Amino acid sequence: MPKQISKRQWTKFAIIISAFMILMTALYFRLLSVRKNASKSEIEQVALPVRTIDLKEEDVTLYKSVLGKVKGGQTISVYNDVNGWVKKIGVERGDHVMKGDILLILEDKRTEYNLAESKSRLESEKAEYNELKRQYEQNRTLYQKGIIARDTLDSSLNKLKAKESMVNSLEAAFRRNEWEFGQLTIKSPIEGKVVEILPDIGQEMLVNQEVARLVNITNKKVVAGVDASLAKEITPGTEVLISSDNAIKGNERNGTVLGVSKNVEESSNLYTIEVDIGPGYNNWLPGEIVTLRIPVRVFKEVIKVPVGSVYSDDDKYYVFVDDNGKSKRVTVKIHWINDEYGVIPSDSIPDNTRIITEGSAALNDGEHLRILH
């Protein structure tokens, strides 16, 4: 009996031990799984967020900017030929006008009255002239028939000639008054651009007083001063880009260098260049300051990178790239083209990588990356 009880206890003990081993094995594999997931989560948590750009190989032109002044082909001052008060101004500063367009309209009641009076007198004298002419023709017929004397015919002829002289005089006066009245409307003598309108509405204008300034815009140019190093790079025919401060970004106009002065100006120690703006209408006025962007060098097969993605260490420049999800430091040679961008040789960046532009300040080699889009 005791042996049977002992065997049953051993069986029970073996079952307990087996269950314990199975439980421990399950707990062990569960622990391994948790540790593996925790390790993966830890890696993901330390991955640094960055932004990148694609590698775009291109040819980039380096420009140097200088200030220039617009000059017109011809400046015209417009004067009034009669007295009057400004009734209407037909244009504004900067307007493009054609020859014959109305600039100003003056008003002068005396001129208007003189025109009306001279016209009335002329019409009255013409009527009397026509009546005397009819009487002369009638007297000539009567004379030929011997009904009236020669003296009567001559008398009617003299009256006709006197009246003809009066009509001619009045007609000249009328034409003069008509001309003076026409001068109250001041028109543009050329096609061009309005530089300035001098008087205001209601202002009295005297004879030979300047009322407007116009500029011929068919051939405008820009004049600028450059230093000796830049003057050596410029040749006639060089294409430059021209823009003004109020121009929309990227909205530049092409110009062509006409020539460079042979001697330096003593007052500025600069050489003078002249740039042809070319035919066509634009909004630049003579005297306006514009910016010339002059090409000085062309970089072939380079990559343009933002200044914030380039770092220096011991006079060497480097960038970080995304290499299969990890950061990689790459030493590069860079040429700055402006305050925002530089260019680096395309063959200095490994293939199948992307340059990191944001988030690279805290990077080291081999850092795990999380790319932001």
pLDDT of residue 113: 94
Q: Using the predicted structure, report yes or no on whether residue 243 has a pLDDT greater than 80.
A: yes
Site of tokens 């421990």: 24
Q: Which residues contact 185 (CB under 8 A, 6 or more apart)?
A: 102, 104, 105, 106
**3-state secondary structure at position 225:** strand
How far out from the chain centre does Cα 156 lie? 76
CB atoms within 10 A of CB 342: 23
**In angstroms, rounded to a whole number, what is the distance separating the alpha carbons of residues 296 and 307?**
21
222: tokens are 């820009």
Sign for the pseudo-dihedral over CA of 111, 117, 121, 127: positive
pLDDT of residue 35: 62
∠ at Cα 18 (17, 20), nearest 5°?
65
**For residue range 155-204, what is the model confidence (pLDDT) as tens digits?**
999 999 999 999 999 999 999 999 999 999 999 998 888 889 999 999 99
Q: Using the predicted structure, report yes or no on whether residue 344 has a pLDDT greater than 70.
A: yes
- From 179, 172, 171, 221, select the one nearest 68 (Cα to Cα): 221
pLDDT band of residue 323 (cuts 50, 70, 90) is confident
**For residue range 94-104, what is the model confidence (pLDDT) as tens digits?**
888 899 999 99
pTM for this entry: 0.49
